[in-house]
Amino acid sequence: MEARRKPLAKLEGRRRMPVSGLIIAWRGTPGLDDWVAYIAKTKSKKLILADRASERKVKSLLTRVRTMSKREVEKFAKG
């Protein structure tokens, strides 16, 4: 008889960037490359910053985006 596996823990968070004022949200599973980061409250479309990335890539992306202006962040995102 097989033992049941415990489900993988999902992590998510939100952070307001000081320079641009945008709210960046992210979610994923530690140890897997299924992380996604996106601009949370946009009026017309969801702008994705990273998709199917590692946790390390998403965290370094958040560090880089902290110093960018709103226009630079929206240009950097995939529409």
Give residue-wise pLDDT tens across range 38-66: 999 766 677 899 999 999 999 999 999 99
Q: Where are the domains of the chain?
A: 11-76
Contact 35, 24 (CB under 8 A): no
Overall size of the chain counted in residues: 79
Share of the chain above pLDDT 90, in %: 70
| Cβ partners under 8 Å of residue 65, min gap 6 | 17, 20, 24, 49, 73, 76
Question: Which residue type occupies 56?
Answer: R
